Structure 1
Amino acid sequence: MRNYFLLFCVVLLGACTQYQYITIDSKVYRPDQQSFVWENDTVRIRYVFSGYNCPLTIQVYNKMTQPLYVDWKKSAVVYGDGSRLSLWNDQMSVSSTTVGGTMRMGNIAVNSAQTVGMIDKREQISFIPPDSYVSVRPLAIMSNFIKPLPQELKKRVPFGDEDGSKVDKYNFTPENTPFTFRCFLTLSTNDSFNNSIYIDQPFWVSEIMQTSMGPSSVLASDKMFYVNRTTTFGHIIGGVGTVAVVAGAVYLEAATEPGPPPPPHHRR
């Protein structure tokens, strides 16, 4: 009985979240049907989208015999509505470790500790020597559910590793896609950027699969990412489910505890 109850709890609390598995497309060449690669005689740029909230990875390879520079502060993701997300921000992250020990002096314990760490601040301008590359992973560029989705485009298709599982699938063209963005990069052959090179590549959402099944081996392609949300109904069910879980756990605990021994039987 306990095992069935635990299974019920998992289903009750886990069915509140919905996922959208989103595929990105572009006119940029895809040599391996996963990452996108754009190149000319000067540079080769690889774009990868995979994971939670569309983390964009950009790799810039210098094909020249002289150094190349990338100004990340003057590079951005430009959304379809005209807003932008800079690929560089003026923030620092600290990685630290605390080491120490305890020394006893009679009945007194003396504690000592020292914090050592490294401050990391990503460079605004990347220097790329000839025949080398720099790879950066900026902030996630999308975290919201795409809605509403056109019901006339919905299809039920198999999904994931589970036999018989189906999800709602939507396919889009560049003309009717619900989400577009561009990756705008500023490069130069000198650190003064007086001869800047601009590379501006468009991307769009070409497919969305919506389901309550969480990610497992679904993200097989580097051009697919996912977002999730908890619905209002899910919040209510989650609250009720939490109460049910607590109450059920108390009940099971009480039911499995041994009761008081029976009164002794007196023979006459």
Structure 2
Amino acid sequence: MKTLTFTALAIFAFALTSCSRYQLNVLSSTNTSKNEQTGNFEFQNDSVRISYSFYGNNAPVSINVYNKLEQPLYIDWQRSALIVGDKAISFVPESVNINGSVDATTSTYRNFIPGVNNTSFTTGNINAVAGLPKTTTFLPPHSQSNNTTLNLTNGFLPIPDSALKDQKILDKYTQTLTKVKNANFEKANSPLLFKTYLTFYTIKDNQAKPFAYQHEFFVSRSLTSLTDLQQLDGFDHTRGDYFISSKATGYSKVMTGAVVVGAVGAAAALNSSTNTTTE
């Protein structure tokens, strides 16, 4: 009986903690074309092919550049930026990431003199690698490179309730219609408008010949639901033109605490029941 009670509580607690709210944001562009198969945004001319993807947690800005020239091409990330509103954010990280491990050994020497504590010594070494920011990418002729250093968001975008309308979309897993809140936007009223500014250069006669491209994007649609939106028709596969954020609902947070308290109470009751004897 005790095992069944705790199992039931654990299942109930898991069900509550898994309650989340999801927001899916679809992106559009004013001056790039969209690959309808991948959802990636693309720009190309005789020199380069640039492809953008924003799929992933907090919308990582993934930029793929292919050099179409017969000579080397350089991407100057130091003079490139993501522009959100009027704020320019460099593609070169300001911090240095260090990954490593510590190996340590502790030795304790017993002291048999009364009133004197034992003595411990720790020796070790650190193995670490510092990831230095990449300021320039070298692309040989007809080669490509991918760069992802920034994220567009850090959580949900603020969508006004007045913009949200009820809509039902097919859930491809359950084959039922799921209710979502949907909002459509133009560039002028989008909750997120941003640009990329990329600087390139080639070298001729030992002189750098720089040139730049600027591309503009905005959120054109936003959906919110208590159902994982990647189960819905049209969003059930990875695409570069949308990103999803999620967070626990307030009800889930409160009820999780209630379940923990209930579990403690149940444990105390079961323990009391187990220890009671009948004379």
Q: Same fold (TM over 0.5)?
A: yes
RMSD of aligned residue pairs (Cα, Å)? 3.1
Q: How does 1:43-192 map to 2 (within 5 A)?
A: 43-79=48-84, 81-99=85-103, 112-149=123-160, 151=162, 154-158=165-169, 160=171, 161-164=173-176, 165-190=178-203
Which is worse superposed, 30-39 or 54-63?
A: 30-39
TM-superposed CA distance for 1:131, in Å, is: 1.6
Question: After TM superposition, which residue ranges in structure 1, 4 or more long, deviate above 6 angstroms?
Answer: 102-110
Q: Does 1:259 align with 2:263?
A: no
- What number of residue pairs does the alignment pair up? 257
In structure 1, stretches of 5+ residues that fail to align are 264-268
In 1, Cα distance between equivalents of 2:230 and 2:188: 31
Q: What is the aligned partner in structure 1 of residue 114 from structure 2?
A: none
TM-score normalized with structure 1 length: 0.81
TM-superposed CA distance for 1:42, in Å, is: 0.7
Q: What is the aligned partner in structure 2 of residue 30 from structure 1?
A: 34
Q: What is the aligned partner in structure 2 of residue 223 from structure 1?
A: 241
Structure 1 residues 44, 205: CA separation in 2 closer, same or farther (over 3 Å shift)?
Answer: same
Q: How does 1:190-229 map to 2 (within 5 A)?
A: 190=203, 194-214=208-228, 218=236, 220-229=238-247
TM-superposed CA distance for 1:147, in Å, is: 2.7
From the two aligned structures, give the one with the greater strand fraction.
Answer: 2
In 1, Cα distance between equivalents of 2:26 and 2:220: 6
Q: What is the aligned partner in structure 2 of residue 6 from structure 1?
A: 10
- Paired letter, 1:39: Q
Look up the SS of the partner of 1:137 in the other structure.
Answer: strand
Q: What is the aligned partner in structure 2 of residue 19 from structure 1?
A: 22
Q: Residue 51 of structure 1 contacts residue 219 of structure 1 at CA under 8 Å; is this kept in 2? A: no
TM-superposed CA distance for 1:121, in Å, is: 0.8
Deviation track 1:198-248 (CA, whole Å, cap 9, x = no partner) reads: 1111111122110133466556322211234567xx1xx466434412221
In structure 2, stretches of 5+ residues that fail to align are 112-118
